[in-house]
């Protein structure tokens, strides 16, 4: 920083010491306004634990997933079981693998997840959210691609609470005339 200040003061002294009779030669390049170049958004730092894994928490409805991502062969383990066994429906497995598809990292990372609460659909969404966050922590350059797809945003939709005087959240009790 001090080098820049010194060079600027040297330039100022050079221009003041120049004879007044000589007109400085100005080129077309010098007349163009100088536009400061703003650096690109700084990448976040890589967040890895001592075992070389990135950790993130994913949430969806009432489900909470703790997710660890590390380089590997693409094996996904949920609550100690393989993903094909835990999430039997192929649509749920598609949901889980979406962050890898968007970032072109299919089969490059192993995932270990523990999920609690909610149903299978909410748990799959929570694991997807956790994988997306852990991927962006392991490779910060992937954050923009994952964020553009909306995988880093927690889906805040939850079940509405039941109100008193109602059968459910909004449904009234059945009306009987007699």
pLDDT tens digit sequence for 45-100 = 889 999 999 999 999 999 999 999 999 999 999 999 999 999 999 999 999 999 99
| CA distances, 21 to each of 17, 24, 30, 131, 140 (Å) | 12, 10, 21, 70, 57
Phi then psi for 174, rounded to 5 degrees?
-65, 135
Higher pLDDT: 151 or 17? It is 151
84 neighbors 76 (Cβ within 8 angstroms): no
Q: What are the extents of the domains in the chain?
A: 54-148
The span from the CA of 113 to the CA of 71, in Å, is 15
Which CATH fold topology does 54-148 show?
Ribosomal Protein S5; domain 2 (3.30.230)
Backbone φ and ψ of 91, nearest 5°? -65, -35
Is the whole-model pTM more than 0.85?
no
Res. 29: pLDDT tops 90: no
Residue 31, pLDDT above cutoff 70: no
Average pLDDT value for the chain: 86
Least confident of 20-24, 45-49, 170-174: 20-24
């Amino acid at each position: 920083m001090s080098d820049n200040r010194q060079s600027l003061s040297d330039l100022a002294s050079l221009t003041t010491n120049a004879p007044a009779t000589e007109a400085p030669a100005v080129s077309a390049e010098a007349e163009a306004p100088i536009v400061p170049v703003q650096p690109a958004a700084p990448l976040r730092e890589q967040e890895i634990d001592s075992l070389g894994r990135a950790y993130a928490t994913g949430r969806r409805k009432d489900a909470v997933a703790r997710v660890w991502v590390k380089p590997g062969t693409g094996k996904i383990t949920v609550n100690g079981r393989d993903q094909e066994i835990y999430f039997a429906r192929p649509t749920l497995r598609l949901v889980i693998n979406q962050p890898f598809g968007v970032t072109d990292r299919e089969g490059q990372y192993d995932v270990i997840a523990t999920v609690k609460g909610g149903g299978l659909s909410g748990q799959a969404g929570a694991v997807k959210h956790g994988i997306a966050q852990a991927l962006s922590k392991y490779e910060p350059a992937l954050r923009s691609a994952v964020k553009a797809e909306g995988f880093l945003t927690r889906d805040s939709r939850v079940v509405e609470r039941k109100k008193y005087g109602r059968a459910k959240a909004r449904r009234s009790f059945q009306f009987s005339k007699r």
